Structure 1
Amino acid sequence: MVKNSKIQIEESSGTVIVGAGAAGLFAALTLAKAGRKVTVLSEAELNGICASCWAQGGIAAAVAKEDSAAAHTRDTLKAGAGTSDKNVTTALTRDAPAYIKLLESYGVDFKHDPATGEFALNHEACHSRRRVLRAKAGDGFGKELMRALTTAAAKEKNIRFVAFQSAVALVREYTQTHGALSGILAYDSKTEDLSLFPAAAVILATGGIGALYSHTTNPNFATGRGIAMAARAGAVLADMEFVQFHPTALALGRDPAPLATEALRGEGALLITEDGKRFMPDQHPMAELAPRDIVSRAVFAELSRGQRVFLDCRNINTQEFPALRDACMTAGLDPQHVPVPVHPAAHYHMGGIASDANGRSSLSGLWVCGEVASTGLHGANRLASNSLMEAVVMGGRAAADIHQFLEKMPETKMLRVPDYCREIAKKYVPLNDRDLVVTRARTELREVMTRLVGVARHESGLKQAIDIFRKLETVAALADAALVARLVATAALQRRESRGGHFRLDYPGDSAVWKHRSYITLKEADLPLAESAEVKEKVYA
């Protein structure tokens, strides 16, 4: 339990943004430059750890003369395996080059070709041409992006940063599921106090769910808290079953696993077994540059047969990839001279809180951007380096939409704390790594997700996982994580086919019946499995 369940009402601002990664900061900068006051809540200090900081490869945009937004759209739709939203995809790929210019204006140091002065572009899986912009510093693009955005945001007087805040619940006017959205309830991990941050508009930019898995490339706080909050408030969720497993996480015994970026294979690195044989040419015409879901399943299949899998980088200049070299050299491996062991790891969630092309969710007053959102851009499988593109573009689009929204909205002034918030406060238990019961339960959750809701799934395993997650929801500190795990497993159980990042051993082929997005609410997921209606295509508005 929290030390003090009394709730303090903070100063009101037009917009509260939860999350200080690329999506949250870009939204904050866009609103601030439009003259809007913004409060940004972050679990760490500004420029602290976030998933955006960990992104290696780069950001995709059709900036080359021989490229086009139409080609970027085609590649994105092809990778998405038939369930991408074409209108959203067209809008975001069209806007992406303009956002690259904005990022340059914020100080992002992109790598340029010294001979031409043009952007240096990498080729990554499923892109029909070189399209991925990188940082001058090498394979740490996320770190460079965050350096520039945090520096720019720190200079803005209209942005108020409040660190060490863990969002607990979305606050609605009457009950947790009824009434206008009016702010965020948050827990201060330093003071152990609870505060209510009133706002007319809320943006959730809380990241993904990778840390629900025991094999992941995500930071340990990526447990889907934003999804849990939105689900409890009644929001519609989309495509929850689609989890992307990166095929080349370094198998060095670290948690999270260091990532061997897609760009390595784009430059010529090969996947081989212990005896030095390649296996990807037999799996797909694009071999190592096949869609991530196909490469991940191929690696998983080799591992399941008892083979070890390695990424052979000996034919490329690994000096261009300092993050890879640092991780390998720390483990006593020189990737320039020896192949390095890899395995699939949970990397990105295509699902999340359903939103339109402007970041609007099904709840009035709630916008979402970044990995917590499911816009339909990625479909069943994300195209390499489209994640940071989506984070930045959607952060900007959501902010622009909120700017217009606030023109018609009176300022939110919270005079009293709703009674149900006090009940939430009394029950709230922050995650404590020193609590052995919680630690064991968290380990169980992650192992079950990897084993039963991972690269390969089956009806019996998914049902078993759902039962386990229901029990783990009774562990207060894990309630949100276990809820999100259950939502993923439920959506995976209901989609009776294989498509993109969702592979069913009992339904190994795709089906025209399921060639659409899926939508679900917590109310629907709470139905007994025998009574639960299948997730069907719905028109999201």
Structure 2
Amino acid sequence: MGTVQQPRLADVLVIGSGAAGLSAALHLAPHRRVTVISKGPVDEGSTRYAQGGISAVLDRTDSFDAHIQDTLDAGAGLCDPDAVRRTVAAGPEAIHWLLNLGVPFTREPLEGRSRLHLTREGGHSARRVAHAADATGRAIEEALVRSASGQGSIEVFERHVAVDLITQPVDGTRRVVGAYVQDAKTREVETILAPTVILATGGASKVYLYSSNPDGSTGDGIAMAWRAGCRIANMEFMQFHPTCLFHPRAKSFLISEAVRGEGGVLLLPNGERFMPRFDERAELAPRDIVARAVDHEMKRLGIDHVNLDISHKPAEFIREHFPTIHERCLEFGFDMTREPLPVVPAAHYTCGGVMVNHFGQTDLPGLYAAGEASYTGLHGANRMASNSLLECLVYARAAADHILSQTDLPAPENLPVPPAWDESRVTESQEEVVVAHDWDELRRLMWDYVGIVRARERLHRAERRIRILQEEIHEYYSHFRISPDLLELRNLAMVAEIIVKSALSRKESRGLHFIRDYPDTDPALDGQPTILAPENALRPGDTRRP
């Protein structure tokens, strides 16, 4: 069980290879040596599975003020208005940057020319979602990977899992100096030294039994930042996508919100449309309202799914607008041009995360976070559709620009070298089934007790069981050689605890957080995010301000 003695060196270490991570790397590449680590193949991650698109003001009939107001409305009084304004204002430039990278956004004819086709999704008052058919995330990820592969200053390590951040005192101040990283193939742990680290690890939706996210969405960056002393905010606001395909082999395949944006309606088994009973915007209400409505009807009627129907639209229209979804549904025996699709809610997006300021800086000097792993204040109590990829691009650019403006960063070769990873006192586990069992139990109890509708009694029950699971995981982590599965379980358990603590501390219902004990929204809590600090918090003050 050898360990790499000489650390790898980089000017910037980017943990994660989705839209946020690769965008930041590309902005940095002309001026810095960048190392990117990816848990799986470089193009695998949540970005690839984003179907809908990116919201930005691109039409003369739209406005920044309207996009800002829609975002604030969806965020239910918890958005940071300054973060919203900055992000919305940067939207058009982000789209043009992607166009220059060769992202094949869908276009439509206009007066002998063509322009971007814009669709509308839940919470938006106008058509402002640029998309590449119904596979926008894949188109963006492929363009980013292609561009990064042509940069000699970007080094990518696939199938490498971050174990923990490394902090050391430098000139009297504790700062991040890199990370321990495990090669998933050899299981060797090596040290990567870098004066700057960007967490772009995505969200934590796999903490729930049913999720639309890929398997790697295990809250790694959030957990690592918490262990390093950073504050975490708004983790009670977990977004459940209302419409994932209900099929035992579909693995919660997402049916894009754009299907509802283009006229799809939600129906009960008897064909009754129910969303107008819950909100005047019906199927175009924000996701929290739609998800709760679906959950309510399923529990009221004792049914295991509802139906999403767009078959009243012309078949050619459906195939043209949703080619990927149409083809995938056919594989499972559903023809959306002829019949409704069975759908259920599933955990989809983590609205909270590591607290950052407008430059993506966390509490820990040298550590940045971007994308779903971060809390910027953009989403508030509920993320509006297609604002997530926008946030990735805008904050990746902001973090890169801020890093490039720093002229006093230590060179990686001058950083203090931490101890090499020590495995001399651990053994190979003969009981991997323990990890699998704890993983399953954690996700089931989160689904049952900390789901779409909550209650304090169930939250306390989850809290007690999570504490026991954490003790088991710590015991296992301390005595056996680590594995990627164990690292993810350890991170998930930590994030689960943070979610429960956050949910218990918010004594109201707002946005994505609905709790039976406090069914009303408390106006006194407007603009008040839930902020948790670990015992080793650096407590530098509110870093959400520049």
TM-score, structure 1 as length reference:
0.92
Between the aligned partners of 2:254 and 2:427, the Cα distance in structure 1 is 34
Which whole-Å deviations, capped at 9, do the CAs of 1:471-499 have from their partners, x for residues lacking one? 22222322221111111111011111111
1:540, CA displacement in angstroms? Answer: 4.1
Q: What is residue 270 of structure 1 aligned with on the other side? A: 265
Matches within 5 A, 1:104-503: 104-116=99-111, 117-135=114-132, 138-173=133-168, 179-254=174-249, 256-305=251-300, 306-307=302-303, 308-316=305-313, 317-319=317-319, 320-405=321-406, 407-413=407-413, 417-419=417-419, 422=421, 435-473=432-470, 474-475=472-473, 476=477, 477=486, 478-503=489-514
Between the aligned partners of 1:297 and 1:451, the Cα distance in structure 2 is 15
Between the aligned partners of 2:426 and 2:121, the Cα distance in structure 1 is 47
Between the aligned partners of 2:277 and 2:424, the Cα distance in structure 1 is 55
1:416, CA displacement in angstroms? Answer: 6.2
Which whole-Å deviations, capped at 9, do the CAs of 1:454-484 have from their partners, x for residues lacking one? 1011101111111111122222322221111
Q: What is residue 38 of structure 1 aligned with on the other side? A: 34
1:174, CA displacement in angstroms? Answer: 5.4
Between the aligned partners of 2:427 and 2:116, the Cα distance in structure 1 is 49
1:429, CA displacement in angstroms? Answer: 9.0
Change (3 A) 1:279 1:538: farther
Between the aligned partners of 1:322 and 1:208, the Cα distance in structure 2 is 27
2:33 partner amino acid:
K
Between the aligned partners of 1:523 and 1:504, the Cα distance in structure 2 is 27
Between the aligned partners of 1:429 and 1:224, the Cα distance in structure 2 is 25
1:519 aligns with 2:531: yes
Q: What is residue 530 of structure 1 aligned with on the other side? A: none
Between the aligned partners of 2:451 and 2:109, the Cα distance in structure 1 is 43
2:122 partner amino acid:
A
Structure 1, unpaired ranges of 5+: 526-536
2:215 partner amino acid:
N
Which whole-Å deviations, capped at 9, do the CAs of 1:120-162 have from their partners, x for residues lacking one? 0001111010000011xx2000000011111011101111111
Between the aligned partners of 2:322 and 2:514, the Cα distance in structure 1 is 31
Tell whether the 8 Å contact from 1:241 to 1:488 is kept in structure 2 after alignment.
yes
Between the aligned partners of 1:215 and 1:253, the Cα distance in structure 2 is 11
Which whole-Å deviations, capped at 9, do the CAs of 1:65-91 have from their partners, x for residues lacking one? 111222111111110000000001100
Structure 2, unpaired ranges of 5+: 478-485
Tell whether the 8 Å contact from 1:218 to 1:256 is kept in structure 2 after alignment.
no
Q: What is residue 61 of structure 1 aligned with on the other side? A: 56
Between the aligned partners of 1:415 and 1:28, the Cα distance in structure 2 is 21
1:417, CA displacement in angstroms? Answer: 4.5
Once the two structures are overlaid, the 10-residue window that deviates more, 65-74 or 382-391, is: 65-74
1:315 partner amino acid:
H
**SS of structure 1 residue aligned to 2:5:** strand
Q: What is residue 23 of structure 2 aligned with on the other side? A: 26
1:295, CA displacement in angstroms? Answer: 0.3
Q: What is residue 529 of structure 1 aligned with on the other side? A: none
Once the two structures are overlaid, the 10-residue window that deviates more, 504-513 or 23-32, is: 504-513
Between the aligned partners of 1:429 and 1:76, the Cα distance in structure 2 is 50
Between the aligned partners of 1:197 and 1:51, the Cα distance in structure 2 is 25
1:514, CA displacement in angstroms? Answer: 2.2
**SS of structure 1 residue aligned to 2:27:** helix
Change (3 A) 1:427 1:297: farther
Between the aligned partners of 1:279 and 1:397, the Cα distance in structure 2 is 43
2:37 partner amino acid:
L
Between the aligned partners of 2:360 and 2:241, the Cα distance in structure 1 is 26
- Percent identity reads 38
Which whole-Å deviations, capped at 9, do the CAs of 1:370-397 have from their partners, x for residues lacking one? 1000101000000100000111111111
Matches within 5 A, 1:49-88: 49-88=44-83
Change (3 A) 1:429 1:492: farther
1:262 partner amino acid:
E
Change (3 A) 1:28 1:411: same
**SS of structure 2 residue aligned to 1:203:** strand
Between the aligned partners of 1:223 and 1:424, the Cα distance in structure 2 is 24
1:323, CA displacement in angstroms? Answer: 2.5
Between the aligned partners of 2:122 and 2:214, the Cα distance in structure 1 is 24
Tell whether the 8 Å contact from 1:16 to 1:199 is kept in structure 2 after alignment.
yes
1:318, CA displacement in angstroms? Answer: 2.3
Between the aligned partners of 2:150 and 2:445, the Cα distance in structure 1 is 44
Tell whether the 8 Å contact from 1:8 to 1:194 is kept in structure 2 after alignment.
no
Between the aligned partners of 1:96 and 1:29, the Cα distance in structure 2 is 18
Between the aligned partners of 1:93 and 1:206, the Cα distance in structure 2 is 23
Between the aligned partners of 1:417 and 1:27, the Cα distance in structure 2 is 26
Tell whether the 8 Å contact from 1:9 to 1:197 is kept in structure 2 after alignment.
no
Between the aligned partners of 2:514 and 2:23, the Cα distance in structure 1 is 34
1:255, CA displacement in angstroms? Answer: 6.2
Of 491, 510, 517 in structure 2, the residue corresponding to residue 506 of structure 1 is: 517
Q: CA RMSD in A?
A: 2.2
1:414, CA displacement in angstroms? Answer: 6.1
Between the aligned partners of 2:185 and 2:55, the Cα distance in structure 1 is 38
Which whole-Å deviations, capped at 9, do the CAs of 1:197-246 have from their partners, x for residues lacking one? 11111000000111111110001121101111100000011111110000
Between the aligned partners of 2:129 and 2:452, the Cα distance in structure 1 is 26
1:181, CA displacement in angstroms? Answer: 1.1
Between the aligned partners of 1:46 and 1:218, the Cα distance in structure 2 is 16
Q: What is residue 481 of structure 2 aligned with on the other side? A: none
Change (3 A) 1:106 1:511: same
Tell whether the 8 Å contact from 2:190 to 2:421 is kept in structure 1 after alignment.
no
Between the aligned partners of 2:414 and 2:218, the Cα distance in structure 1 is 29
User: How many residue pairs were aligned?
Assistant: 517
Tell whether the 8 Å contact from 2:356 to 2:543 is kept in structure 1 after alignment.
no
Between the aligned partners of 1:30 and 1:436, the Cα distance in structure 2 is 43
Between the aligned partners of 1:188 and 1:357, the Cα distance in structure 2 is 33
Change (3 A) 1:413 1:429: farther
Between the aligned partners of 1:414 and 1:524, the Cα distance in structure 2 is 26
